[in-house]
Amino acid sequence: MKNIDPIFGYTPFTKIAKITGAIVTTIDPAREPTLPNAGIKALYTADTAGCKITSIDIKCLAGSSTGLVLLFITDDTDNLCLVKEIAVETYTPSDTVAGFETTEVFEDFQLEPGQTLYAGMLSVGSATNIIAHIADYLKPE
């Protein structure tokens, strides 16, 4: 069947969350933290048409230790659901060595209207910027 009402990313923009502390030093095996939690920051809540997450950048602002950046989305009852773990490697930045950074690109990471994207980290060891590149959807009129 032909799609006569396609939905495209309409308004591209960037949201940044600076996280300065880990969620906890250890986390339950199910990786289901609860809010409020100082180590978890909301990056974006999708509007009435939803949105597409095109990529996530991670930039440690000082030396980093081996750890994880965790991405969560909310379910229908606003519980956090883990959707992605991104490994952070140990780096010691200097005048000639850049700090740790990586980009995770997504082909089809979408949020439904009202869903929220959250980010947190485990044992990374330094303040970290987590940058989401997002495109809101525009519903055809």
User: Given this model, what pLDDT does residue 21 score?
Assistant: 57
State how far the Cα of 80 lies from the Cα of 97, in Å rounded to an integer.
36
- Domains of the chain, first to last: 11-138 (2.60.120.340)
Asked if residue 14 lies in contact with residue 101, where contact means CB atoms within 8 angstroms, the answer is: no
pLDDT for the residue numbered 116? 93
Strand ranges in 49-127 using DSSP code E only, listed in sequence order: 51-60, 67-74, 80-88, 101-111, 116-122
10-residue block means of pLDDT along the chain (141 residues)?
52 71 51 70 86 90 81 87 89 86 91 90 79 80 58
What pTM value is reported for the model? 0.81
pLDDT at 27: 53
pLDDT of residue 16: 73
Tokens encoding 79? 């519980």
